[in-house]
Amino acid sequence: MIPPQLLNDPKAFQGLVSLLFGILVLMFPKILNYLVAVYFIINGLTIIIPFLR
Amino acid sitting at position 32:
L
Cα–Cα distance measured from residue 12 to residue 31, given in angstroms and rounded to the nearest whole number: 24
pLDDT in tens, 6-25: 667 777 777 888 888 888 88
Q: What does pTM read for this prediction?
A: 0.55
pLDDT in tens, 24-51: 888 988 888 888 888 888 888 888 888 8
With a CB cutoff of 8 Å and minimum separation 6, the contacts of 32 are: 25
Asked whether residue 52 is assigned to any structural domain, the reply reads yes
Q: Give me the helix-helix angle, 32-52 and 10-27, nearest 10°.
A: 170
Asked whether residue 5 is assigned to any structural domain, the reply reads no
Its domain, for residue 44, covers 23-53
Asked whether residue 6 is assigned to any structural domain, the reply reads no
- Contact between 31 and 9 (Cβ < 8 Å): no
Domain count, the chain: 1
Asked whether residue 41 is assigned to any structural domain, the reply reads yes
